[in-house]
Amino acid sequence: MEVTKLKDEKECLEIELDNLTIAEVLRDYLNRTDAKLAVWKREHPTKNPILHIEGANPKKLLKEAVGAIEKELDKISTDFKKMK
């Protein structure tokens, strides 16, 4: 997956992702946390989505969201293995 940092300020971070599904999952998890605002936009269906994050420490919020997603995926994987 390719990620490009477009804007990196104290309380604002914008990254361009090459996957709309990842942008939506991150948006959802970020909005469950202390993020003031987490949205994505796409200028055109042929363009990559841009994830916009606002909060006290947007890089930390993004890392925490990724960690939460990884933890949930590990749990899902473990649950599926138990089903065998």
CB 13 within 8 Å of CB 7: yes
Q: Is the pTM of this model over 0.85?
A: yes
**What is the CATH code of the structural domain delimited by 3-82?**
3.30.1360.10
pLDDT for res 83: 87
CB 19 within 8 Å of CB 26: no
Residue type, 18: D
Q: Say which DSSP state 80 is in.
A: H
Burial 7-28 (b: 16+ CB within 10 A, else e): eeeeeebbbbbeeeebbeebbe
pLDDT for res 66: 96
pLDDT for res 27: 97
> Can you give the pLDDT of all 84 residues of the chain as single tens digits?
899 999 999 999 999 999 999 999 999 999 999 899 999 999 999 999 999 999 999 999 999 999 999 999 999 999 999 987
Going from N- to C-terminal start, the domains of the chain cover 3-82
